[in-house]
């Protein structure tokens, strides 16, 4: 497959039909891309052979690094350009990467070329990693720990083929990608799909609603990739009217009825729901979703995706687009358990009824996180709650709850909440630690970042 991917990349570069930009006044072609790739390949030649990490705010440099590393038979791990230095350093040191490459300077890095603002941080102690080219992306960490997912190019290529065959995007299409490129939908759907199909793609580097609306109006794209909150903000932002694309994909978070209604009312636009995960890529699509559609409906499976449910109604999926496995775990074998419970309608449409909540084991007794969260949420004045396990001495876990109040209150205290829990929960189910927050930490897609809560 490595040879096939290289041939596909070289074919795109030689055909010179692909165009890309992050500035409406300057569109680059594959000749420009080829020059950038050759320059980066020279830089890579002085770095020890092995996977590299990429963290770039400049979308053009990002694309050049991805292609150059792949042609050099290197695995790549995509890091978020909005991550904190501590988070970036922590993930890098635990990753299989021999070097981290960026378009911005950071601690202990060196400039690879005095005439080119590309920086590298090399690692002394290397971890074992699969040889050859592959893609590594991190899960959002909503469950408390962000994990590195490894997918090979065969899976990515298959996902792109399924998108193209299922969506039948028009020839010569223009893509507008507003999403982060280190996420699977932004990388595969928003960047590599137009690359391999030789479309034109405009990559927005920093999202500002009025600016994005202006770009949309001028560009008149056929395909748009965005996150629900981005469409929400664009709908509320001042600016010119925008055109109706063939598809306006919404990915990365649930596409709620409220967002669909707002976008239709203010932009006369129907969004297309994109359901999937970092581990699987895109799984199902609901084209041009109306506000009246039930929130639980996520769409019809892409070609080559087969859904099933187990006795607990958890959704499983078989697909060639599934990951090889987690970097810190065993290789994926057989159907992937999505962690969502739901059903498949008679017409094949997938319905997601909720997220399967893990349990906390305390002294051999299994405690439902969902039950504890629901009791805490029932307290008047409580706005939001997240419950996670906390390791204790020995082989025990304790329950830790993070609480956001609707407004500051001298009445809703640690003691008040625990007394309330005594009336509604078993003693073993009562949280031992309560932490009050102004707001819960969330990702750029709006998902709660449990990995930060673990550290509190």
Helix (H/G/I), strand (E/B), else coil: 138 = strand
Query: Exposed (0-12), middle (13-18) or buried (19+): which is 439, by Cβ within 10 Å?
Result: exposed
The pTM assigned to this predicted structure is 0.84
Percent of all residues in the chain with a pLDDT value above 90, rounded to a whole number = 66
Instruction: Answer yes or no: are the C-beta atoms of 285 and 302 closer than 8 Å.
Output: yes
pLDDT over 50 at 366, yes or no = yes
Query: Please, what is the average pLDDT of the chain?
Result: 89
CA dihedral over 158, 162, 165, 171, signed as positive or negative: negative
440 pLDDT more than 50: yes
* Tens-place pLDDT, residues 2-15: 688 999 999 999 99
153-355 matches 2-132 in CATH topology: yes
Q: Averaged over 26-45, what is the pLDDT?
A: 92
The CA–CA distances, whole Å, from 449 to 62, 265, 455 equal 25, 31, 11
Query: Residue ranges per domain, the chain?
Result: 2-132, 153-355, 359-454
* pLDDT surpassing 80 at residue 168: yes
pLDDT at 185 over 70: yes
CATH topology of domain 359-454: GMP Synthetase; Chain A, domain 3 (3.30.300)
103-126 pLDDT, tens digit each: 888 776 788 776 678 888 888 766
Please report the pLDDT score of residue 2 as a whole number: 62
Q: How far is Cα 149 from Cα 359, in angstroms, rounded to an integer?
A: 23
Tell me the backbone φ, ψ of residue 122, rounded to 5 degrees.
Answer: -95, 160
What's the rounded mean pLDDT across residues 257-280? 96
Pick the CATH number of 153-355 from 3.40.50.12780, 3.40.50.720, 3.40.50.1000, 3.30.1330.10: 3.40.50.12780
The model's confidence at residue 395, banded by pLDDT at 50, 70 and 90, is: very low
**Binning pLDDT at 50, 70 and 90, where does residue 176 land?**
very high
Average pLDDT over residues 292-315: 94
CA angle in degrees (0–180, nearest 5) for 357-300-350: 30
Res 252 pLDDT > 50: yes
The pLDDT of 152-170, averaged and rounded, is 94
Mean pLDDT throughout 380-384? Answer: 93
What is the CATH number assigned to the segment(s) 2-132? 3.40.50.980
**Cβ-contact 349, 299 below 8 angstroms:** yes
């Amino acid at each position: 497959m490595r040879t096939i991917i290289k041939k596909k990349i070289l074919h795109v570069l030689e055909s010179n039909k692909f165009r890309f930009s992050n500035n409406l006044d300057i569109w680059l072609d594959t000749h420009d891309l080829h020059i950038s790739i050759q320059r980066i390949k020279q830089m890579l030649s002085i770095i020890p052979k092995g996977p590299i990490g990429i963290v770039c705010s400049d979308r053009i440099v990002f694309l050049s690094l991805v292609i150059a590393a792949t042609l050099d038979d290197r695995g790549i791990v995509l890091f978020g350009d909005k991550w904190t230095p501590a988070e970036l350093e922590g993930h890098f040191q635990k990753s299989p990467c021999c070097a981290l490459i960026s378009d911005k300077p950071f601690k202990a890095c060196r400039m690879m070329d005095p005439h080119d603002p590309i920086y590298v941080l090399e690692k002394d102690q290397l971890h074992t990693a699969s040889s050859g080219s592959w893609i590594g992306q991190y899960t959002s960490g909503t469950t408390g720990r962000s994990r590195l997912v490894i997918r090979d190019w065969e899976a990515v290529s298959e996902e792109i083929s399924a998108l193209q065959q299922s969506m039948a995007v028009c020839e010569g299409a223009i893509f507008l990608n507003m999403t982060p490129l280190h996420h699977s939908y932004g990388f595969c759907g928003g960047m590599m799909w137009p690359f391999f199909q030789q479309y034109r793609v405009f990559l927005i580097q920093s999202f500002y609603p009025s600016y994005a609306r202006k770009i949309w109006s001028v560009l008149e794209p056929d395909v748009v990739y965005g996150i629900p909150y981005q469409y929400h903000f664009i709908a509320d932002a001042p600016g010119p009217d925008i055109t109706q694309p063939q598809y306006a994909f919404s990915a990365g978070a649930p596409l709620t009825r409220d967002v669909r209604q707002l976008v239709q009312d203010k932009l006369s636009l129907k969004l297309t729901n994109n359901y999937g995960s970092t581990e699987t890529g895109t799984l199902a699509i609901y084209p041009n979703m109306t506000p009246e559609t039930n929130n639980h409906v996520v769409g019809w499976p892409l070609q080559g995706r087969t859904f099933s449910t187990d006795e607990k109604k958890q959704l499983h999926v078989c697909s060639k687009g599934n990951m090889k496995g987690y970097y810190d775990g065993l290789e994926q074998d057989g159907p992937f358990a999505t962690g969502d419970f739901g059903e498949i309608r008679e017409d094949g449409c997938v319905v997601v009824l909720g997220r399967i909540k893990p349990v906390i084991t305390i002294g051999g007794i299994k405690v439902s996180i969902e039950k504890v969260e629901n009791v805490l949420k029932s307290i008047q004045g409580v706005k939001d709650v997240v419950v996670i396990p906390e390791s204790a001495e020995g082989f025990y876990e304790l329950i830790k709850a993070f609480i956001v109040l609707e407004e500051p209150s001298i009445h809703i205290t640690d003691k008040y909440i625990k007394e309330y829990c005594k009336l509604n929960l078993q003693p073993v189910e009562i949280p031992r630690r309560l932490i009050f927050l102004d707001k819960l930490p969330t990702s750029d897609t709006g998902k709660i970042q449990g990995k930060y809560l673990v550290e509190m």
